[in-house]
Amino acid sequence: MSHHAVDVIRAKRDGRELADAQIAWFIEGYTRGRVAPEQAAALLMAVVWRGMSARELDAWTEAMIRSGSRLDLSSVPLPTVDKHSTGGVGDKVSLPLCPLVAACGAAVPQLSGRGLGHTGGTLDKLEAILGFRSDLSAAEVVAQLREVGAVICAAGEDLAPADRELYALRDVTGTVESIPLIASSIMSKKIAEGTAALALDVKVGGGAFMTDLPRARELARTMVGIGEDNGVRTAALITDMDAPLGRAVGNALEVRESLEVLEGGGPPDVIEVTLALAEEMLALAGVDADPAAALADGRAMDRWRRVIRAQGGDPDAPLPAAPLVEEVRAEAVGVVEHVDAMAVGLAAWRLGAGRAQRGHPVSPGAGVILRAVPGDEVAKGQVVAELHADDEARLESGRAALAGAFRVGQGPPRVGPRVLERVGAR
C-alpha cells in the first residue's frame, strides 16, 4: 500500500498515532531512498516532541529489524547472551566482560560500534591491538562463537540497515536524545543479531546521554519491554556515570586497564560493573557459574587471548603509546570530591582518542589517565591526571577541556556504588 510522507509527518506532528503500515512504509522508504532525508528528519523531530505509544514503538522496532537480515545463531551449541552499554567515559567493560562470560560457559556475540564525540567505541579500543580485525562475515561470527565462545566485531552491513541510516540523520538533526528512538535503535540491532538473552548497561549522570535517574529508568524499562516482547530475555542495570569509569580514558589506555582487570587487578569500580553484568548475563543465559572465580584463576584471560588471536590480533604485541605526556596537578590540598566525566571525555576526544565525524581516524595512544579519583586525598601540586597526545596542538586543546574537571574539598569522601538499580525480571 502506498502512503504519502507528508501525511505521515503531519499525523505525528499533530499527536496522532501512526498505523503499523505507515511506519513500515516510511522506514522502508527512507532506507531504500524513496523518502527524502528532510522528510525523515521532520518525522524524527515530530517523534522527539510527540513521543510514541507502545504499539507504535513495537511497529517502529519491527520495521527496523525487517529492513535487513537476521543473524542465525541456531548452530551455536551454547546459550547465547550479549551486553549493550548506552555509552560513557572510560567504559571499557565489554573488553574483560565478553571473555569472562564465555569462560563461564555462555556464548557471547558482542556486536559493537565506534566512538563519536566524548564517548569511546569498543571497536576503536580493540583496533589499538596489532592486527585485530573487527569486520567479520556472518559465517565467521558463527564459526568463532562455535570454536571460541565469544566474538567482538562490527555489525554486518545488512543487520538493521534502517538504524544505520536513521542514526546518521539523528546525529545531525538534534534528534538523538529521544527515548523511543534510542530504545528502538539499540534493540533493533540486538534482536537482529539473534542472541537469546541480553543485559543492558544504562548509564546515568554527567558523562551519559541520560543525565537524570527518572529518564534512565524510563529508557531501561522501554528497552527491557522491547526485548521481552521479541522473545529475548532482557534485563538492565542502571550504573553511575557522573565520574569516568576506572582511571583510563582512550583506546590503547583502556585496553591496558582491561588487561589489568583480566590479570586479577584493575580499578575497583571497573571490577564492580564487570562482575555485576557478568552475573546478570549468566543468569539470563541459565548458566550457573561464578564469574569472580573465572577472573581470579586466569580462565578469563585465557579466553581473551583466544578471542584476540581468532580475529587476527597479537595479544603479546606492545600497545601504541602517544609520544607526548603532560601532567596535570592539583591546585589545592584536600579530598577529590568529583571528577567531571564529560570534561574528561571531551579532553580525551580533543587529544585524539575520539572523532568529530564518522569515518575520521583516531589516535590509538591518545587519552587521559586519572592519577586521582573521587575519594582520594591529594596535596597541592600532586599529579591528578596525565594527558597523552601525538602533537602539541592537541595537548593544548585537551588541557583546556580538562580545566576545572577536578573538585577538591575538605569534607569526607563521598563515593557510592556504581551499580544503582536493576530493571527487569527473570
Task: Write out the catalytic residue numbers.
Answer: 84, 163, 170, 185, 189
Q: Can you tell me which residue has the cell 580538562?
A: 402
Q: What is the dihedral of CA 77, 79, 80, 86, to 10 degrees?
A: -160
Report which residue type is found at 272. E
Beta strand residue intervals within 50-196, DSSP E: 81-85, 108-112, 150-154
State the Cα–Cα distance between residues 113 and 176, nearest whole angstrom: 16
Q: Is 50 helix (H, G, I), strand (E, B) or coil?
A: helix
Residues across the chain:
426
Among the residues of 172-250, which ranges form H helices?
179-192, 213-229
State the Cα–Cα distance between residues 20 and 28, nearest whole angstrom: 12
* Pairing mode of beta strands 108-112, 81-85: unpaired
| Cα separations in angstroms, 319 against 39, 97, 126, 257, 315 | 45, 20, 10, 12, 9
Contact 385, 348 (CB under 8 A): no
**370 phi, psi to nearest 5 deg:** -90, 120
Among the residues of 352-391, which ranges form H helices?
none
> How many other CB atoms are found less than 10 A from the CB of residue 386?
18
> How many other CB atoms are found less than 10 A from the CB of residue 214?
9
Cell of 60: 517502529
Give helix 299-310 / helix 94-103 axis angle, nearest 10°.
Answer: 110
